[in-house]
């Protein structure tokens, strides 16, 4: 019998066992949680017991997580379908040394970082200006990871933003670029275009719109552009001077790229010193991931909790619920990170997966979600594992009482998921209101919470740049570990290509330049309506 079979058998043997019963006797909360670097990861409110944890650890060991981890950090080409190393970790460990194809890549990484830092200081200090003087606003134009990552981080670290205001444009819908630019002054706006190849259709369409907007208000619009790209010929053709072009290697994937030049807008907003804190937090989590034994390793246990819930228990989704308004974009960021990375159907060797791949990831910040989808989580027919995030302290000392209320709501929700409410308890609540007999039972049933629903909590001191770096790196490594266990490549994304190809073919049809002949009936009908 395989380890997977052992896990399924163990789960089946204990289906329905109250999670609350696991807290009887030994100090379960302490034994099923991990503390490191100021963080506390508590997975005690899951059905994972000592036997299940042991089997999960053996599963990670058998999959070669440790070996694969060192191969990644060592610069091996673990992205096998594209023949690339995976070295976003190098971007936040500037003192390290990593060899790829026999060459130490870190001198170049450090050089690019130094150029980004110098440019960020120039923009912040007024050394670099627009036609109207000091830069007041930075518009970052990107797509997918080159947008979500810095956009999420800029919002998360807004208390530290003391530079030009950062704005983000990604959607090819013209409303997005129009609405962002409409509020800005072209004479004091810097536009950063993030596209490695400088060919991404969505990004370049928005870049062209931004250039036209600048051209209507300034004499030399190209002078107020910078680019994150390796395509120096294309950036030059666009008019961007080479000193304002910042490249990065092909071993940095888009959804892992915020640590390098893609994070330039973030560096400008919060300053190089705070950006360095963000990198330091990521590097600290890297060290923990590499050094901590699996049972004490946050990334490994977060991943194994995900494996338990998805592949063993059959829960197809997980909700990410940050009780931190400034982490409002974290669920969307994790949607891309996890679902693009592990939403695969074939193993590394090209064979069909025999297990479900990554789950559907979704969520919203608390307390907003409590009166939206928490109804489904608490009383719906499907079990949805929840991942809570909450800080001990907020950034508004004058509103400490509100932060306590926020924390209380977070802890209350995870407790409610655990405990639930029985029919007898519901009857006891309603009986003093004069209800009796069948009506009492009917009303009480609506107030029953099944409980026994799993959740984890990641608690942190305060959402500083360092802590955000820890959180982002933690989830990156969680994705990696889950991918290794499932035997898939977490670092390619071929599933996004077909739709892009078809979109390019449909544009001339919509423009009336080509016929819709050969398209299916539904596509022809929709083209006819929308053209």
Active-site residue set: 340, 371, 500
CA 525 to chain centre: 37
User: Positive or negative CA dihedral for 510, 514, 518, 524?
Assistant: positive
Between CA 474 and CA 482, with CA 476 as vertex, the angle to 5 degrees is 100
Residue 518 contacts residue 337 (beta carbons within 8 Å): no
Give residues with Cβ within 8 angstroms of 380, minimum separation 6. none
Residue 224 contacts residue 191 (beta carbons within 8 Å): yes
Give residue for tokens 């909590």.
457
- Beta strands in 33-150, from DSSP E residues, in sequence order: 33-36, 39-42, 99-100, 103-104, 129-130, 133-134, 137-141
What number of residues does the chain have? 531
Q: How far is CA 95 from CA 107, 274, 288, in A?
A: 10, 18, 17
For the chain, counts of helices (H) and of strands (E): 20, 15
Count CB-CB contacts under 10 A for residue 143: 21
Q: How far is CA 286 from CA 19, 91, 92, 402, 470, in A?
A: 32, 11, 9, 34, 8
Separation between Cα atoms, residue 308 and residue 342, nearest integer Å: 15
Reduce the DSSP state of residue 232 to 3 states and report it. helix
Bridging pattern class, strands 137-141 and 189-194: parallel
């Amino acid at each position: 019998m395989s380890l997977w079979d052992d896990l399924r058998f163990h789960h089946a043997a204990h289906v329905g066992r109250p999670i609350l019963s696991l807290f009887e006797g030994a100090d379960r909360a302490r034994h099923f949680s991990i503390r490191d670097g100021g963080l506390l990861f508590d997975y005690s409110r899951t059905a994972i017991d000592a036997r299940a944890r042991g089997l999960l650890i053996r599963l990670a060991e058998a999959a070669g997580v440790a070996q694969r981890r060192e191969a990644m950090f060592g610069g091996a080409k673990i992205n096998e379908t594209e023949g690339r190393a995976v070295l976003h970790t190098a971007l936040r460990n500037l003192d390290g040394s990593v060899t790829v194809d026999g060459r130490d890549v870190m001198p170049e990484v450090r050089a690019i970082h130094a150029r980004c830092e110098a440019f960020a200081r120039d923009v912040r200090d007024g050394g670099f200006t627009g036609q109207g003087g000091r830069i007041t606003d930075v518009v970052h134009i990107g797509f997918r990871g080159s947008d979500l990552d810095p956009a999420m981080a800029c919002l998360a670290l807004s208390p530290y933003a003391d530079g030009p205001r950062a704005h983000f444009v990604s959607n090819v819908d013209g409303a997005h670029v129009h609405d962002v630019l409409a509020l800005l002054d072209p004479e004091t706006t810097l536009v950063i275009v993030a596209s490695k190849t400088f060919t991404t259709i969505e990004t370049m369409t928005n870049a062209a719109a931004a250039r036209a907007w600048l051209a209507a208000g300034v004499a030399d619009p190209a002078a107020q552009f910078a680019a994150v790209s390796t395509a120096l010929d294309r950036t030059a053709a666009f008019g961007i001077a080479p000193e304002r072009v910042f490249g990065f290697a092909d071993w940095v994937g888009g959804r892992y790229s915020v640590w390098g030049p893609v994070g330039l807008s973030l560096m400008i907003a919060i300053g190089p010193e705070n950006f360095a804190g963000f990198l330091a937090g990521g590097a600290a989590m890297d060290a923990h991931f590499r050094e901590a034994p699996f049972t004490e390793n946050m990334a490994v246990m977060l991943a194994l909790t995900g494996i338990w819930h998805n592949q063993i228990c059959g829960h197809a989704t997980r909700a990410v619920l940050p009780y931190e308004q400034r982490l409002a974009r974290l669920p969307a960021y994790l949607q891309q990170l996890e679902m693009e990375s592990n939403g695969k159907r074939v193993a590394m060797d090209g064979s069909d997966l025999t297990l479900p791949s990554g789950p559907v990831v979704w969520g919203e910040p608390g307390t907003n979600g409590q009166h939206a989808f928490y109804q489904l989580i608490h009383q719906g027919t499907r079990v949805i594992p929840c991942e809570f995030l909450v800080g001990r302290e907020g950034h508004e000392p004058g509103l400490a009482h509100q932060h306590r209320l926020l924390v209380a709501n977070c802890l209350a929700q995870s407790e409610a998921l655990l405990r639930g409410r029985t029919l007898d308890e519901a009857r006891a609540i309603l009986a003093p209101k004069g209800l009796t007999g069948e009506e009492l039972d009917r009303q009480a049933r609506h107030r029953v919470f099944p409980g026994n629903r799993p959740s984890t909590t990641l608690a942190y001191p305060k959402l500083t740049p360092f802590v955000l770096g820890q959180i982002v790196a933690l989830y990156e490594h969680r994705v990696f570990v889950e991918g290794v266990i499932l035997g898939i490549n977490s670092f390619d994304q071929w599933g996004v290509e077909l739709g892009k190809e078809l979109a390019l073919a449909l544009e001339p049809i919509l423009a009336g330049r080509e016929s819709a002949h050969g398209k299916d009936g539904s596509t022809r009908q929709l083209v006819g309506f929308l053209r």
